[in-house]
Structure 1
Amino acid sequence: MNAVQCGEFIEGATVIRPAESKDSAVAAGLVFLSGPAAFEHIFGSGHDPDIRDFLKAEFAKPATMFSHRHHFVYEQDGQLIATIGGFDKPSHDATLMGNAKAIFSQYGWRGIVKGLMFELRLVKPPRKGCYYLCHIAVDPQWRGKGIAAQLIDFMTVRAQGLGYSTLSLDVAELNIGALRLYQQMGFKLVKRNKSYNSVLDNHLYMEKTL
């Protein structure tokens, strides 16, 4: 199947479209699945609010990196089954204050410190001139059908249209399935970021020339 274009239905029932605030209930759960260990570590599963509730609230709002404004969703027969996010350096940097305020209001300084540590040590901010992919997640019942590849193809076309020559992402080293997919799609390892604790996996920073 070829990459789905934004707003173009294929096979009568499939579409990739910009996410909307109304998608937050389902999309939040998918975003969580894109990195459950990291979310659990940063926000803490034993603290209120529940991580998925936090992501749901922020997905519906405009200010943070978890906002629908930075995401696209994949629908099959009207069912939302996958997400993907995309940032360049300016759009990522514009969320920093919103991220800090939202995290502090719900999880205090502990959440901010853990989040900063994670981003500085394992998942680097987008570099200038590069389009960065994140929150790539597919409903477990729909995995193995090429949906993640379609999302990446879609974002590749988007990045080229925006004038970027490089696509990038981070992946947990032990996420073998995702790593294999990214390699098959032309992403090359640029740097291995070693984990700073026993909870989080080493992360691989990868780039693809467009």
Structure 2
Amino acid sequence: MIREAKISDAETIAPLIIQAMGALAYKFSNTSDHNATIKLFEHFFKETNNQYSFENTLVYVNENSELLGSLNAYDGAKLVELRTNFLDYLSTHHGLKNFNPEPETQAGEFYLDTISVSPAAQGKGIGKQLIDAGIILAAELGHTQVGLLVEVDNYKALKLYQNKGFQIKDEKKFIGGSYHHMVYQIFS
């Protein structure tokens, strides 16, 4: 079952966000300390008005109420607004002065930021259900395009997104990495 996230999901969701982001998460926390990075994303998950907030997260729970996956998604037009609190906090508490990552999304796009499934639950279609839920949410909110970034060498994820109907639109550089910018068109 997919439901909206709750603040109480923070301890389970933070590691999933980090799993989805990989090395980027540690660039944001400005440390290789895994626990400090988890604490950073727990903090922002519990807060409002930021990219990684519970407000912008859907979760997958099984019949035993175990949280096994998450999708963080939002209106691309709100990127600057959602990023401001995050970047200000990183500057003040994590020493990232003048850190201004490239925009990963833009107006006119509902952006799937992080999609992650617990390692023990992978291969069971949970990721596909989360992607579908993101597309449905985008349509309900009136969006006609859903976007995401996938590392150019992440062939498994690339194939999954292509099988779900996403197409490569262009290439983007983001915090030193190369990504496919993929889009899904919603037709009414």
TM-score (normalised: structure 2): 0.90
Q: Contact 2:79–2:106 at 8 Å: present in 1 too?
A: no
Matched length: 185
Counterparts of 1:75 and 1:109 in 2: how far apart (Å)? 35
Query: Which residue is equivalent to 2:107?
Result: 128
CA deviation map 1:88-138 (0-9, x unaligned): 13433321321122212321234x51xx23xx1xxx343222111111000
Where do residues 189-208 of structure 1 align in structure 2 (5 Å cutoff)?
189-194=168-173, 197=176, 200=177, 202-208=178-184
1:40 equivalent to 2:26? Answer: yes
Match of 1:70 in 2: 56
Contact 2:146 2:185 in 1 (8 A): yes
Which residue of structure 1 aligns with residue 116 of structure 2? 137
Q: Secondary structure at the match of 1:54?
A: helix
Q: How many Å apart are 1:164 and its aligned residue?
A: 1.0
Instruction: Specify whether residues 181 and 188 from structure 1 end up closer, same or farther in structure 2 by C-alpha distance, changes over 3 A only.
Output: same
Conserved 8 A contact 1:82-1:137: yes
Alignment partner, residue 135 of structure 2: 156
**Does the 8 Å contact 1:73/1:83 carry over to 2?**
yes
8 Å contact from structure 2 (residues 74, 110) kept in 1: yes
Q: Identity over aligned residues, as a percent?
A: 23
Indicate conservation of the 8 Å contact 1:16/1:75, yes or no: yes
One-letter identity of the residue aligned with 2:147:
S
**Distance in 1, Cα, partners of 2:88 & 2:8:** 22
3-state SS in 2 of match to 1:186 = coil
Residue 88 of structure 2 corresponds to residue 101 of structure 1:
yes
Determine helix, strand or coil for the equivalent of 1:136. strand
Contact 1:85 1:134 in 2 (8 A): yes
Pick the aligned partner of 2:146 from 167, 184, 193: 167
Q: Are residue 51 (structure 1) and residue 27 (structure 2) matched?
A: no
Which amino acid counterpart does residue 49 of structure 2 have in structure 1?
A
Based on CA coordinates, which of the two structures has the bigger radius of gyration? Answer: 1
Secondary structure of the 2:49 match is coil
**Residues 61 and 68 in structure 1, CA contact (< 8 A), matched pair in contact too:** yes
Matched to 1:80, the amino acid is L
RMSD of the alignment, in Å?
2.0
Q: How does 1:75-90 map to 2 (within 5 A)?
A: 75-76=61-62, 77-90=64-77
1:4 corresponds to which residue?
Answer: none
**Partner AA of 2:148 in structure 1:** L
Gaps of 5+ in 1: 1-14
| Alpha-carbon distance in 2 for matches of 1:195, 1:133 | 15
* Residue 161 of structure 2 corresponds to residue 182 of structure 1: yes
**TM-score, normalised with respect to structure 1:** 0.81
**Residue-by-residue CA offset, 1:16-50 (whole Å, 9 max, x unaligned):** 11111110001001011011111123323346971
Q: Structure 2: which 5+ runs fail to align? A: none
Instruction: Give the Å deviation of 1:161.
Output: 1.3
